[in-house]
Structure 1
Amino acid sequence: MKTYTDQIGNTITLDAVPQRIVSLVPSQTELLFDLGLEDRIVGVTKFCVHPYHLKSTKKIIGGTKKVHIEKIKLLKPDIIIANKEENTEEIVTALQEIAPVWVSNIITIQDNLDMITQLGQLFAVRTQAQQWIDKINFALADFKIFMQDREVQKAAYFIWKNPYMAAGGDNFINEMLKLNNFTNIYEDRGRYPEIIIQKIRIQGDPDVVFLSSEPYPFKEEDAFEIGRFTHHAKTVFVDGEMFSWYGSRMVKAFPYFKQLQQRLE
């Protein structure tokens, strides 16, 4: 028997290395695959799109906010992997009746590295986990050198429309913005504040407005609408996965951020 503590302080006890995994988090599904655990994954959400073939080879158990409890029960998982932000407390509580639920909570890059370490221990793939940590740390150090002499700019990062919502503070997107030398004008407005776009200039007058590809797929007309209320801001469409997916995805994020910086020049 081994006892593990997840990233929200819950303790789970396992009598063996888990062989049947249900993942409720798209970025963590990708990480499990990259850790060499594809054969052990039995259930994923409909939003687990990387790698793409998992959607046809694994059981789809619903979304991140609405899961099919009975479908999960039939899969007889040894462990369920969840996330504090992606999945509700009610879902986690209900699933604890079926199997141990390990919950991540990722706000900083260090939280992400800690998660990879802990999943490496949980699934007895420590070497693979350390390889991904090394890759991320190497790419991070390289990116910090790349960013050294770049000016700090004010930014707004929109994630939703009707109502308009932006990334505020205390979340992974905000950490990625800071890494890219952007000061988030909504950082002190809560985690994901609703925004009245007519007030965007008096709320911080950003130099750059980012429109994310997910969870809401922004279009050209949205850029035009927001642009009517900004003074001088560049409006840029960005790949939301690069800003909001943690796990192994970070290795791909750094080259993307370099291209983004060059586009903004």
Structure 2
Amino acid sequence: MLHSWLLPEGMAAPEQAKRIVSLVPSLTEWLHTLGLEEETVGITKFCIRPDEWFRQKTRVGGTKNVHVDELLALQPDLVIASKEENVAEQVQSIAQQVPVLLTDIENLEDALASMQLIADIAHRSEAAKALLAQIQMDFATALPQAGRALYLIWREPYMSVGRDTFIHAMLQMAGWENVCGYQTRYPTFTLAEMQALQPDVLLLSSEPFPFKINHVLELSAHFPHTRICLVDGEMFSWYGSRLLKSMSYFKELHRQLT
């Protein structure tokens, strides 16, 4: 599922949005790229890009703890939410009073379709045209296979990504076989279970857990024959405007690790 509409009783999906609240950090950045400064009236505390919006826009809580009353006080005519990043009960509560576009992104095609829909609703279709074409061109061909990767997003417990995630799709485009591709969603592992997967490379993401150099050193003792690398999690997990930069990042990472 790319997206779905959750609508108040008797209300149709909006043909044009003029007051938007985004609960999805990566799509908040897309709104900015489309030039929707005036139309975007609310964001979350995790919508850190662009920095000026993070500092200036009204924040309605976090992605998992939206302050619904504060959101509704902004009188939005569209709320952008994510099935994965937001809490279903809160989204349902908001949708009783405001149209909600609920995204469900698993791959590049899903991302592009949702980005196009948002541009259409905001009457920015023309502005989006060249940007989406550039992303499609950048991702037209996956990078050559570079080996088997274990991508970690969390510590205590160690957590990776399964085949039905956007990160999995980006790993494939970046030239890596996901050693957790036999799993779904976000599987957890013990250290011994990770060692049994025998990855060629360990990719330690900057988010949601902020892996640092001390974690590289810690894991090096247990993976003496595995390359271990800190990676920019936004490049692998943020759809939206980050996609204009991510393939260049993947190419440089590919060059460093092969």
Q: Identity over aligned residues, as a percent?
A: 38
1:168 pairs with one of 151, 162, 168 = 162
1:192 pairs with one of 171, 174, 186 = 186
Alignment of 1:36-185 (within 5 A): 36-141=35-140, 144=142, 147=143, 150-185=144-179
Structure 2 unpaired stretches of 5+: none
Aligned pair in 2 of structure 1 residues 225, 131: CA closer, same or farther (>3 Å)?
Answer: same
Aligned pair in 2 of structure 1 residues 16, 115: CA closer, same or farther (>3 Å)?
Answer: closer
Q: Deviations over 1:193-234 (max 9, x none)?
A: 1110122222x2000000000111112222222222225110
Structure 1 unpaired stretches of 5+: 1-5
1:241 pairs with one of 230, 234, 237 = 234
| AA matched with 1:195 | F
| AA matched with 1:140 | F
| AA matched with 1:113 | L
| AA matched with 2:157 | P
* TM value normalised by structure 2: 0.93
* TM value normalised by structure 1: 0.91
Cα distance in 2 for residues equivalent to 1:138 and 1:155: 25
Could you say what secondary structure the match of 1:214 adopts? coil
Cα distance in 1 for residues equivalent to 2:130 and 2:83: 26
Q: Figure out how many residues of one structure are paired with residues of the other and give that number.
A: 254
Q: Which consecutive aligned stretches of 4+ in structure 1 deviate over 4 angstroms post-superposition?
A: none
Cα distance in 2 for residues equivalent to 1:248 and 1:137: 13
2:5 pairs with one of 10, 17, 22 = 10
| AA matched with 2:176 | F
Query: Which residue pairs with 2:28 in the alignment?
Result: 29
Could you say what secondary structure the match of 2:241 adopts? helix
Could you say what secondary structure the match of 1:118 adopts? helix
Q: Quick check: 1:164–1:195 contact (8 Å CA) kept in 2?
A: yes
How far has the Cα of 1:98 moved from its partner? 2.8
Cα distance in 2 for residues equivalent to 1:228 and 1:180: 26
Q: Quick check: 1:209–1:236 contact (8 Å CA) kept in 2?
A: yes
Whose RCO is larger (CA < 8 A, sep 6+)? 2
Cα distance in 2 for residues equivalent to 1:205 and 1:16: 51
Could you say what secondary structure the match of 2:101 adopts? strand
Cα distance in 1 for residues equivalent to 2:14 and 2:194: 54
Q: Quick check: 1:167–1:173 contact (8 Å CA) kept in 2?
A: yes
Cα distance in 2 for residues equivalent to 1:195 and 1:22: 36
RMSD over equivalenced CA pairs, Å? 1.6
Cα distance in 1 for residues equivalent to 2:95 and 2:6: 12
Cα distance in 1 for residues equivalent to 2:239 and 2:29: 10
1:250 pairs with one of 243, 249, 252 = 243
